[in-house]
Amino acid sequence: MLIRRLKLKNIRSYVDSELIFPRNYVLLSGDIGSGKSTALLAIEFALFGLLKGELTGSALLRNGRHRGEVELEFEIDQEIVVIKRVLKRGENSVAQEAGVLVVNGHMQEFTAQELKARIFELFGYPKSMISKGKLVYRYTVYTPQEHMKQIINEGAEERLNVIRQLFDIDRFKRIKDNVSLVMRSLRERCRELLGSISDLDEKRALLKRHTQELLGLSESLGPVEIKLKELQNDLVLSKKKLFFLEGQAARVLAAKTSFSILENAVIGIKQNLARLISEKNNLCDEVAKLRQGGIEIDGSQLLAKKSEFYKLQEKIFAVSKDLGEKESIKKISFETKSKIMFLEQCPLCRQNVSIEHKQCIGKECDEKIKVANESFRVLSEEQNLLKEQFVLLRSEIERFSELVSAQELLKDRVERAESRKVSCEKEISLLEVQLDDTVKKISSFKDIMTQQVDVESERKKHEDLVSKQNEQAVQAANIRARKEMITSIRNMLDAEVVKKENSKALFDRLNSKIGWFENEFLEVVEIVEKNILARVHSQFSELFCKWFCMLVDDLEVRLDEEFTPVVIQNGYETALDCLSGGEKTACALAYRLALNRVVNDALSTIRTKEVLILDEPTDGFSNEQLERLGELLAELDSGQVIIVSHEAHMEAFVDSVIRLKKDEHVTSIAY
């Protein structure tokens, strides 16, 4: 990786600036506060975005501005990569927006986290180190000035953890931790299995006893089932014989019952026969009497009387109608006469009505009333006469109707008597036939009734067989039930024993695994970890001692097993806190450069080996140490080394200088 260009817009003191980084050794020069560290932080922001707790948006975005941009261009394995990130000020904070990644002209937009992951891939960090990718960057490419001495001032355990993470050796610690978790889980599982298999021998013995008992029950069940089969066969024969005898007994009992019933039936039939004969004779006498006292009435006389009655009724109606007409004439004439007498003027012609005309009209009306009265009198007399005839005729019709009804009733009684007589004759014939059949049946039942059947003795034999069969069946059922129960228990025990044996086999396997983890695997992991640490320690110690001695000539150093620098002065160990400022800086720089070289050599996939950024590496250095630093830088053999320093003497050791100047809170650039 080689950094080519950095463009800043509204980033701290940079309003709109672009820094061009050539190859080889570059010095970023300027007074304190001129913006040197801002450029390095901007590079880190472009690569990894905002870092919680370390790099915030409010710390980068220029005060009073709502939007800031950082664009970084670098070359990595002949690929030109451009990254652009944007900061935007909100109501309460400054946040980063989606970023843009351009690789060889192909542009893609990513979220902040996606872009960070894509950069990790481009840098070639191993997948196991993706989560700690920034840590690798901080110790191989760029370490902020305030962090330079941190690793050697930390505790031994923290320092070892950093070393393990950088060289991916912490995976061995994770392996050991994971193995401890696995072994703890295996031991817990073994304790569970041990509790479940503690009674395995007891269950095996119990299974053996139940198996033997099951064999004994099978042997004892055979004779019982044979005896039961014999009794069942005897019971079938006895049941057939008993069924036959019971049938015979039933037939005898039925014959006796039928005989008694038929005897009673004969008596009843004879009684019914006598009663029907008597009834027949009485009916014959009654029919004769009815025929002797019958009255013959001609129906045509009744019809003639009714016809005469209807005609008389019509005459009465006609006379009543004439009487009504006469009464109406009288009423109209009287009303006309009354009206004309008081009429002064004709309502039609409007002429006066004379007295003579009134008298003439009155006479006409009187004449009409007189004629009507006479006709009314004659018609009234005629009506009265007709009514008398009507009453007489209606009486005769009623008398004739009663006679006809009586005659019809008499005929009906005669017919019913004749019909009953015929029925009685038929019933007598049937009863005579039934009587003959019943007498014949009685004679046939006499032979059956004489038979003797001994059912009780056979029933007793059958009951004895049933009792013996039930006893044998109960015995067989008890044996089968016991056998079934023992079989069920045995099957359960068998399954339980199999399960416990499987658990025991699993227990043995798990114990074997625990032993393998404890006695073999962890030992191998420990040896591998120690070998890797020893190899790293050897190379690390050699480089650290060499480069420290190049910077400081009156002191000796070495690394102990925990990678802690040990300073020796005049043959005695000296605490790091007792060193001067320049000596402490030299120790930190040598440690930093040695760490960079060893990490880059150990991790072959890393693609950031060509670039090295040193932030104020000469803090407290004397002029002599500055000269020695030039010799040390010549040995680094890096493709691009960016040095941030305010020491003018450093310009002699670099190929290019980028000068930064800050005026009224705005940084300007000069090459």
Let me know whether 535 and 436 are in one domain.
no
SS3 content of the chain, % helix, strand, coil (to 5): 70, 15, 15
List pLDDT tens digits, range 59-107. Answer: 999 998 999 999 999 999 889 999 999 999 998 899 999 999 999 999 9
Percent of the chain beyond pLDDT 90? 16
Please report, for the domain that includes residue 349, its CATH number. Answer: 1.10.287.510
Let me know whether 413 and 545 are in one domain.
no
List pLDDT tens digits, range 213-269. Answer: 888 888 888 888 888 888 888 888 878 877 877 776 776 677 677 667 767 777 777
Using CA atoms, how far residue 248 sits from 234, 286, 366, 523, in Å, is 21, 55, 120, 102
Let me know whether 142 and 17 are in one domain.
yes
Residue 510: inside a domain, yes or no? no
Report the candidate in 118, 45, 27, 44 with the shortest Cα–Cα distance to residue 81: 118
Examine the fold and report which residue of 401, 419, 449 is the final residue of a domain before the chain moves on: 449
Amino acid at 163: I
Please report, for the domain that includes residue 588, its CATH number. Answer: 3.40.50.300
Residue 191, C-beta contacts closer than 8 angstroms, at least 6 positions apart: none
Let me know whether 425 and 309 are in one domain.
yes
Let me know whether 543 and 431 are in one domain.
no
Let me know whether 8 and 128 are in one domain.
yes
Pairing of strands 24-30, 640-645: parallel
Q: Do 142 and 43 touch, CB atoms closer than 8 A? A: yes
Question: Mean pLDDT, to the nearest integer, of 152-158?
Answer: 79
Question: Mean pLDDT, to the nearest integer, of 114-134?
Answer: 76
Residue 37: inside a domain, yes or no? yes
Q: Which domain holds residue 342?
A: 294-449
Higher pLDDT, 399 or 579: 579
> Directed axis angle between helix 133-140 and helix 112-123, to 10°?
50
- What torsion do the CA atoms of 498, 501, 503, 508 make, to the nearest 10 degrees? -160
Let me know whether 430 and 567 are in one domain.
no
Q: Do 37 and 669 touch, CB atoms closer than 8 A? A: no
Classify 389 as helix, strand or coil. helix
Question: Mean pLDDT, to the nearest integer, of 205-217?
Answer: 85
Let me know whether 436 and 580 are in one domain.
no
Task: Report the 3 state secondary structure along 257-299.
Answer: HHHHHHHHHHHHHHHHHHHHHHHHHHHHHHHHHHHHCCCCCCH
Residue 440: inside a domain, yes or no? yes
For residue 434, pLDDT over 80 is answered with: no
List pLDDT tens digits, range 505-543. Answer: 988 898 888 889 888 888 888 888 888 888 888 988 998
Q: Which residues of 576-599 are buried (b: 16+ CB within 10 A; e: fewer)?
A: beebeebbbbbbbbbbbbbbbbbb
Residue 27: inside a domain, yes or no? yes
For residue 404, pLDDT over 80 is answered with: no
CA 610/CA 600 separation, integer angstroms = 10
Percent of the chain beyond pLDDT 70? 87
What is the token pair recorded at 140?
A: 């191989």
For residue 321, pLDDT over 70 is answered with: yes
Let me know whether 443 and 307 are in one domain.
yes
**Helices (DSSP H) in 293-354: which residue ranges?**
299-341
Q: What is the pLDDT of residue 562?
A: 83
Examine the fold and report which residue of 449, 477, 512 is the final residue of a domain before the chain moves on: 449
CA 105/CA 102 separation, integer angstroms = 6
Residue 241: inside a domain, yes or no? no
Higher pLDDT, 21 or 375: 21
Let me know whether 554 and 663 are in one domain.
yes
377: left (phi over 0), alpha (psi -120 to 50) or beta: alpha
Using CA atoms, how far residue 66 sits from 22, 42, 92, 667, in Å, is 32, 17, 12, 19
Q: Do 579 and 600 touch, CB atoms closer than 8 A? A: no
How many domains are contained in the chain? 2
For residue 576, pLDDT over 60 is answered with: yes
Name the pLDDT band for 190 (thresholds 50, 70, 90): confident
Residue 183: inside a domain, yes or no? no
Examine the fold and report which residue of 431, 449, 467 is the final residue of a domain before the chain moves on: 449
Higher pLDDT, 482 or 669: 669
Q: What is the pLDDT of residue 43?
A: 94
Residue 21, C-beta contacts closer than 8 angstroms, at least 6 positions apart: 2, 3, 4, 5, 6, 640, 642, 658
Q: What is the pLDDT of residue 100?
A: 95
Poorest-confidence range of 406-420, 616-630, 636-650, 652-666?
406-420
Let me know whether 18 and 140 are in one domain.
yes
Residue 251: inside a domain, yes or no? no
Does the pTM surpass 0.85? The reply is: no
Residue 196: inside a domain, yes or no? no
- What torsion do the CA atoms of 589, 590, 596, 599 make, to the nearest 10 degrees? -140
Name the pLDDT band for 291 (thresholds 50, 70, 90): low
